């Protein structure tokens, strides 16, 4: 009998998008495609499709805690991705339970607004996200509007301004340990989609050609899930970030092959398999 090969275990704590383009379902697809064993804790329920969100139903915080504790007691995660949490009580309890279990890697995607423009995080939860979660993370992955909310400033409009924002966000993270900011620049105009990776010392520019498609639903979820899958497998954080960026770029490049929905369709998580 051959020896069992340990597989990296990646956990997503996020909301459910019934269309499968974002949230826990998209995270599980990305993690699985990148060679991790995917687990999921449900933090919120939504009614949505490729055209928009019609309803959000929070999950009881005590049950979110029970999901996390029950899972970690048997299947401790090598990396955790945090996505849509929806409310302040859920944000606080997720922070408390992760502080207890101390997973090696935590990727925070501060999900605030859906691609359709619908709000996915209560305004009073933003403070808890800053105070309870940000000090624990290995990496935070905001887009430019989310970074503006976290820093209480207008969204930036140039790559030069992005560099200062990345520095300011890194200053908000805990100073103990190696912490990273992955600032997504997809909202900027231009032929290239430029992201910045910053750890307080290095400022690494990650660029890829911008792909002309409306099917970009769940890109932020997919990127952060890819990072959670790859961090336990890569030699270092920059390698994981480059591989995650490449995976997402190819998932967007092949998105039009799916033909799902009549709005902003999903990216192609299994472009390398189908």
Active-site residues, by number, are: 184, 216, 218-221
Q: How many Å apart are CA 63 and CA 194, to the nearest integer?
A: 39
256: exposed, middle or buried (C-beta count within 10 Å: 0-12, 13-18, 19+)? Answer: middle
Q: Of 237, 267, 61, nearest to 140 (Cα)?
A: 237
Alpha helix (H) residue ranges in the chain = 23-33, 61-74, 88-101, 126-128, 144-151, 159-172, 219-230, 237-253
Please count the other Cβ atoms lying within 10 Å of the Cβ belonging to residue 124: 11
Residues in the chain: 274
Characterise 190 by phi-psi region: left (phi > 0), alpha (psi -120 to 50), beta (else). left
267: exposed, middle or buried (C-beta count within 10 Å: 0-12, 13-18, 19+)? Answer: buried
DSSP state at residue 129 = I
Tokens 């933003």 -> residue: 126
Helix (H, G, I), strand (E, B) or coil at 35: coil
Q: Which residues pair with 15 in a beta bridge?
A: 44
Query: Is the distance from CB of 189 to CB of 225 less than 8 angstroms?
Result: no
């Amino acid at each position: 009998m051959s020896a069992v090969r340990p597989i990296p275990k990646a956990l997503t704590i996020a909301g459910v998008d019934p269309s499968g383009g974002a949230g826990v379902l998209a995270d599980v697809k990305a993690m699985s495609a990148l060679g991790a064993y995917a687990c999921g804790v449900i933090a919120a329920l939504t009614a949505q499709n490729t055209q928009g969100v019609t309803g959000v139903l929070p999950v009881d915080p005590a049950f979110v805690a029970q999901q996390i504790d029950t899972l970690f007691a048997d299947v401790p995660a090598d990396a955790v991705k945090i996505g849509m949490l929806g409310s302040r009580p859920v944000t606080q309890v997720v922070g408390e339970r992760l502080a207890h279990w101390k997973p090696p890697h935590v990727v925070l995607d501060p999900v605030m607004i859906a691609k359709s423009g619908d709000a996915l995080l209560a305004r009073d939860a933003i403070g808890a996200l800053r105070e309870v979660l940000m000090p624990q993370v290995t990496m935070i992955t905001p887009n430019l509007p989310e970074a503006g909310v976290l820093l209480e400033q207008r969204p930036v409009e140039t790559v030069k301004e992005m560099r200062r924002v990345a520095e300011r966000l890194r200053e908000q993270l805990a100073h103990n340990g190696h912490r990273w900011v992955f600032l997504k620049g997809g909202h900027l105009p231009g032929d290239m989609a430029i992201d910045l990776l910053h750890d307080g010392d290095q400022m690494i520019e990650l660029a890829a050609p911008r792909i002309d498609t409306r099917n970009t639903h769940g890109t932020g979820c997919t990127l952060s899930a890819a990072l959670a899958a790859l961090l336990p497998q890569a030699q270092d954080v920059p390698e994981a970030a480059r591989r995650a960026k490449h995976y997402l770029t190819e998932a967007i490049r092949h998105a039009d092959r799916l033909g799902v929905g009549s709005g902003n369709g999903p990216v192609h998580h299994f472009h390398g398999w189908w």
